[in-house]
């Protein structure tokens, strides 16, 4: 006993069971971290009780599914613009982890969003934005000119760096 509370030894399974008994009670409503800490520390104490309860509550599946989200909804999806002119709106992606052939192990895939025609360029995995811009210039720009839009699942930073290097 410590100050009228049961002192829990360093037994992770026993501590987890005590937390489970105080957190997973439907009558208590699956309380958040501080509510569970308050319920546990009414009768039990150990060094790091707040930390252990916090970890348990963060990993609670039901709590995660039932949690109120405080951020605003993302809003309605916007349709991507599609031009009437070929090779003005492009998507860019990479095929990686390929066997090395002629010192190349990645394929840069450029797709026209209107016609779904694709262009494939072999490159290496360590190619930076400047090198990709050079590949794009030598293989795409010389044939079709500068695109109006480039979309990639690599994130907006990739498209910004590619466009910056092209310009």
Q: Beta 89-95 vs 149-152: how paired, if at all?
A: parallel
What is d(CA 160, CA 47) in angstroms, rounded to the nearest whole number?
50
Question: Read out DSSP for 46-109?
Answer: -TTHHHHHHHHHHT-HHHHHHPPP-SPP--PPPPPP--SSTTSEEEEEEE-SPPPBTTB-EEEE
User: Is the pLDDT assigned to residue 27 strictly greater than 70?
Assistant: no
Query: Pairing state of beta strands 89-95 and 106-112?
Result: antiparallel
The structure's pTM equals: 0.52
Tell me the per-residue pLDDT of 76-90, one tens digit each, with 9 for 90 and over: 887 776 678 898 888
> Each residue of 105-136: pLDDT tens digit?
999 999 998 899 999 999 998 887 788 888 88
Are 92 and 109 contacting, i.e. CB atoms less than 8 angstroms apart?
A: yes
| pLDDT attached to residue 30 | 63
Q: What is the pLDDT of residues 28-55, one digit of tens each?
A: 556 678 888 888 888 898 889 999 988 9
Spatial distance between the Cα atoms of 127 and 132, rounded to a whole number of angstroms: 6
- Where do the domains of the chain lie, and which CATH numbers do they carry? 6-66 (no CATH), 89-166 (3.30.420.10)
Mean pLDDT of the chain, nearest integer: 84
């Amino acid at each position: 006993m410590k100050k009228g509370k049961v002192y829990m030894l360093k037994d992770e399974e026993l501590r987890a069971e005590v937390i489970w008994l105080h957190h997973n009670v439907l009558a208590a409503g699956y309380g958040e971290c501080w509510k569970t800490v308050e319920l546990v520390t009414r009768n039990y104490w150990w060094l790091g009780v707040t930390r252990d309860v916090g970890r348990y509550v963060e990993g609670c599946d039901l709590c995660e599914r039932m949690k109120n989200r405080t951020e605003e909804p993302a809003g309605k999806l916007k349709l991507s613009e599609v031009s009437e002119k070929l090779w003005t709106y492009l998507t860019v992606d990479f095929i990686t982890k390929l066997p090395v052939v002629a010192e190349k192990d990645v394929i840069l895939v450029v797709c026209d969003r209107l016609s779904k025609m694709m262009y494939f360029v072999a490159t290496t995995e360590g190619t930076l934005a400047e090198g990709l811009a050079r590949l794009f210039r030598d293989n795409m720009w010389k044939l079709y000119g500068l695109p109006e839009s480039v979309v990639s699942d690599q994130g907006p930073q990739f498209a910004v760096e590619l466009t910056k290097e092209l310009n």
